[in-house]
Amino acid sequence: MSTGLLTKASKWKDDVPLLYAGDHLHQREFHRRYEAYPDPAARFELIGGIVYMMTPAGYDHSKGDYRITGLVFQYERATRGVEGGQNVTVILGEASEPQPDNVLMIRAEYGGKVRIRGKKTRYIVGPPELVFEIAHSSLSIDLYEKRRDYRTGGVLEYLVLDIERRAVHWFDLRADEPLKIPADGIVKSRAFPGFWIDTRALMARDVNRLADCLDRGIASEEHGRFVAELASRRRQRGSGGRRQRPNQTGG
């Protein structure tokens, strides 16, 4: 995330008050104002009941985001029942509506907690299991306020890529504790078995090493067991003679 405490002057629209960074709002009022905001390019988040306006993302932020997105796509492709998302609004509670850089989540019919809702624009409601943030000017917010919101909202695991210091911060939010990056530099997700990230390759922008590391994770026994577990959850949810509603996200 690239976030700043900025204000943006604009015109009124449909008698809905404008959003300003620093406003203290409940999620419903924040969402109402956000959807009515006259500048569609403006991006806001509600973190701990406080409105933040995101600053334009720089090149380094975009490259970090791009590489994580590629890993998320590769893992989703190999793991039936899992979906990824990028820069998507996530409604977590009365005081929290962040827009994380990337998410990995288990689909509802496979036992996941998220739901996709909305009329004109659809949003994630509920916690993705794994959230990523690409941090530069927003590092302190990502490591503290947003970490707190994600933990309270039910996110299981959290990764922050610190662009300036070339570091990765890894958190088990269930235990509310930071996790140490292993000596080999490879993060092995606890929420998504087989989702392996070579953090050294990530910082070096070595996409071949990144992809090779994830390929090894996907080929691992732990990933095979996870895929089988997801399939079992799907069968169990489909049993009992009840017709299942189609997943709103498609696929």
The tens digit of pLDDT for each residue in 7-17 reads 343 444 558 99
Residue 61, pLDDT above cutoff 60:
no
CA pair distance 8, 53, nearest whole angstrom = 9
Three-class SS state of 132: strand
CA distances from 4 to 1, 22, 62, 124 (A): 10, 10, 17, 23
pLDDT category of residue 147 using cuts at 50, 70 and 90 = very high
Region 192-220: mean pLDDT is: 96
To which H or E segment does residue 161 belong? strand 157-162
Region 131-157: mean pLDDT is: 92
CA distances from 100 to 120, 205, 222, 228 (A): 21, 21, 27, 29
Tens of pLDDT, residues 34-50: 999 998 888 899 999 99
pLDDT category of residue 210 using cuts at 50, 70 and 90 = very high
Judged on CB neighbours under 10 Å (0-12, 13-18, 19+), 194 is: buried
Tens of pLDDT, residues 67-76: 899 999 999 9
Inter-residue contact 52 to 44 (CB < 8 Å): yes
What is residue 62's predicted lDDT score, i.e. its pLDDT?
A: 53
Instruction: Give me the domains of the chain, ranges plus CATH numbers.
Output: 3-54 (no CATH), 59-238 (3.90.1570.10)
What is residue 15's predicted lDDT score, i.e. its pLDDT?
A: 80
Mean pLDDT lowest among 67-76, 112-121, 142-151? 112-121
Three-class SS state of 145: helix
